[in-house]
Amino acid sequence: MTSKYTRILLAMAFVISVAALAQTGSAAAAPAGAAPAVTSTGTKVGTISMEQAIFATNEGRRDFEALSKKLEPKQNELKGQNDEIDALKKQLSAQQDKLNDDARANLMKQIETKQKSLDRQLQDAREDAQNQQNEIAQRILQKLGPVLIKYASDNGFGVIIDTSQPWPQSPVVWWGEAVDVTKPVVDGYNAQSGVAPPPPAASGAAPKAAPSKPAGTTAKPTTPPVKPTEPPK
């Protein structure tokens, strides 16, 4: 996603306990009053980038791509207004010595008025885009939770730690690929959702469900702490 309006703004730096998440996740997946108790005796610790997982699901890729296309006309409109303001600024810079006081003041007033209008529209557009992004993310997240719980319970995990945010926003300083479960959880979600992958031409540079781990590092205890790279945006 290259549009500045299509980057999801999630801040989910928290530790997910399989036992605790099982209660809320199962309750959301089952009818009221019929949520089965899910427990785990596993002791393994795993990591997942919830933000990256949301983007990497077929459903997420489809819906965020659709939102990007939906926002394109507004983005183009705002770009046109910005180009118009830039042209007026260049005109003022090139002709200010030739303009009389009234003409110069009038041109400056046009620039100021148009800039204020553009700033207001940009803010409104950002808020609208973010609200729509969050709606998509929350919808997918509610269905992703139970999938994560099942995977963790079936594979002996006791705790899954979210690595969406880089250190120090997240308490996780470093992790290795061996403990990251983002891809298998995404694969499980895709199989359950039944949503087909978007065509290559439509999906563009879709983020991969791979661990957010610095290139060239290995999972050795003696390796100095490093700051993980952020998920694709």
Q: pLDDT for 191-206, tens place per residue? A: 999 899 888 754 444 4
Q: What confidence tens digit (pLDDT) does each residue in 106-126 have?
A: 999 999 999 999 999 999 999
Evaluate whether residue 208 is within a structural domain. Answer: no
Domain count, the chain: 1
What share of the chain in percent tops pLDDT 70? 68
What number is the average pLDDT over the span 92-116? 92
Whether 139 contacts 25, CB under 8 Å? no
69 confidence band (pLDDT: 50, 70, 90):
very high
Cα 186 from Cα 18, distance rounded (Å): 17
Domain of residue 63: give its range: 15-203
What integer pLDDT is reported at residue 90 of this predicted model?
Answer: 94
Question: 21 and 148 in contact (C-beta within 8 Å)?
Answer: yes
**pLDDT tens, 144-194?**
999 999 999 999 999 999 988 888 887 888 888 889 999 999 999 999 998
52 in any annotated domain: yes
pTM over 0.75: no
User: pLDDT-based confidence at 138, cuts 50/70/90?
Assistant: very high
157 in a domain, yes or no?
A: yes
Residue 207 has pLDDT above 80, yes or no: no
Q: Does a structural domain hold residue 62?
A: yes
Q: Is residue 26 included in any domain, yes or no?
A: yes
14-42: pLDDT as tens digits: 344 444 444 444 444 444 444 445 566 77
pLDDT at residue number 53: 94
Within a domain: residue 232?
no
pLDDT of residue 39: 62
Q: What is the pLDDT of residue 227?
A: 36
Determine the Cα–Cα distance for residues 123 and 137; give it in Å rounded to an integer. Answer: 21
Does residue 5 form part of some domain? no
pLDDT at residue 47 is higher than 60: yes
Q: In the prediction, which pLDDT does 216 show?
A: 33
The answer to whether residue 213 sits within a structural domain is no
